[in-house]
């Protein structure tokens, strides 16, 4: 895919978005840190997709076409085209199924993601014995509120430099 060979998944671009701040200050930074992490994830997905495709092609290469009778050239070509089309159509469906499964596991078990876009930690004081709790993040868009506790598809636009009036067009943050 064009994205997997683009500058946007290069370590240079990802570092440019991340900036000079250390990983420890990650939790107090702008949405550009999240965007950097999303592009890093995209880079990993490109590598994973490449590996899955290579493995699928290797598995596919061991398939045999067995017929009880001799096939004409046209019939053979139709069979091969059908097998290839099925392979091409099933690969992204299988990949998407795995992704959805992982996202559903995170949501159903209320696991916090590394981007802190679904749950936020709250730490009490010594008076309350330093109890750590979590609360779901809610996103408000189009005058309606959406809680990550009940819906994994809640989203909001990414902002530039924590300035909530400057939206990074086409980029969103999701609960998952």
Q: What is the pLDDT of residues 66-107, one digit of tens each?
A: 888 898 999 999 988 998 898 888 888 888 898 889 888 888
Please list the residues that pair with 135 across neighbouring strands.
120
Q: What is the pLDDT of residues 33-73, one digit of tens each?
A: 778 888 888 899 899 888 888 888 888 888 887 888 898 99
pLDDT at 27: 46
Structure confidence at residue 161 as a pLDDT band (50, 70, 90):
low
Please list the residues that pair with 173 across neighbouring strands.
156
* SS3 per residue for the chain: CCHHHCHHHCHHHHHHHHCCCCHHHHHHCCHHHHHHHHHHHHHHHHHHHHHHHHHHHHHHHCCCCCCCCCCCHHHHHHHHHHHHHHHHHHHHHHHHHHHHHHHHHHHHCCCCCCCCCCEEEEECCHHHCCCEEEEECEEEECCEEEECCCCCCCEEEEEECCEEEEEEEEEEEECC
Q: How many residues does the chain have?
A: 176
Distance CA 10, CA 168 (A): 20
pLDDT at 21: 57
Distance CA 55, CA 78 (A): 25
Residue 171 has pLDDT above 80, yes or no: no
How confident is the model over 168-173, as a mean pLDDT?
72
Least confident of 6-10, 14-18, 49-53: 14-18
More confident residue, 77 or 30: 77
Residue 29 has pLDDT above 70, yes or no: no
Intra-chain end-to-end CA distance of the chain, in Å: 24
Distance CA 64, CA 80 (A): 10
Residue 142 has pLDDT above 70, yes or no: no
77 alpha-carbon distance from chain centroid: 37
């Amino acid at each position: 895919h064009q994205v997997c060979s683009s500058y946007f998944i290069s370590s240079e671009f990802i570092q440019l978005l991340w900036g000079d701040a250390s990983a420890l200050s990650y939790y107090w930074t702008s949405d550009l840190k999240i965007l950097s992490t999303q592009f890093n994830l995209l880079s990993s997905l490109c590598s994973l997709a490449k590996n899955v495709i290579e493995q699928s092609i290797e598995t596919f290469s061991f398939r045999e076409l067995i017929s009880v009778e001799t096939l004409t050239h046209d019939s053979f070509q139709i069979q091969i085209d059908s097998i290839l089309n099925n392979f091409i159509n099933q690969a992204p469906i299988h990949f998407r199924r795995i992704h959805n499964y992982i996202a559903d596991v995170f949501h159903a078990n209320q696991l916090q993601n590394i981007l802190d876009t679904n749950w936020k930690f709250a730490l009490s004081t010594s008076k309350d014995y330093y109890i750590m709790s979590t609360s779901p993040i809610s996103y408000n868009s189009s005058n309606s509120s959406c809680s990550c506790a009940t819906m994994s598809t809640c989203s909001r636009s990414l902002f530039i430099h924590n300035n909530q009036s400057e939206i990074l067009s086409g980029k969103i943050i999701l609960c998952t």
